[in-house]
Amino acid sequence: MQNRSVATVIILTIVTCGIYALYWVYTTAAALEEEGRTGGLSAGVQLVLTLFFGSIGYALFGYYADNNLNAIRARRGMPSSDNKVLYIILGIFLPIVLIGIVQNDINNITENKMSY
């Protein structure tokens, strides 16, 4: 999982008219699945769903991201948070906000990892 600036991710998504968001979904889904190991849809399938079905793909990405983030938190002894419903709603209506929140969660997990 890569620690990225939330503002940079959002700005690049806006400037590239969403192309960076597709790259981000693929790389983030792959990294989360590699570290979370919860099963589910592969990063490639999530990218294709996001590319062709838009909001539905982002909603599924949010669902699987929450599963993997909680699995990673559990392995590191951090408290989990159930954000599935929030992530699904944001994926459907405000995908750019979902991207920012998931990246912020990743940053918080990686910073916590470094402080041990």
Token digits of residue 7? 């503002």
Query: Are 49 and 56 contacting, i.e. CB atoms less than 8 angstroms apart?
Result: yes
Token digits of residue 76? 């590191």
Whether residue 116 is predicted with pLDDT greater than 50 in this model: the reply is no
The radius of gyration of the chain's CA atoms, rounded to the nearest angstrom, is 13
Which residue shows structure tokens 């991201």? 65
Give the structural domain span for 18: 6-114
- Does 77 map to a domain? yes
Average the pLDDT over 22-32 and give the result.
97
Closest listed residue to residue 85, CA positions, set 103, 98, 72, 100: 98
Please give the tally of structural domains in the chain.
1
- Does 1 map to a domain? no
- Does 24 map to a domain? yes
pLDDT value at position 81?
A: 87
Give CA–CA dist 40/92, Å, rounded: 19
Computed over every residue of the chain, the mean pLDDT equals 93
In this prediction the pTM is: 0.91
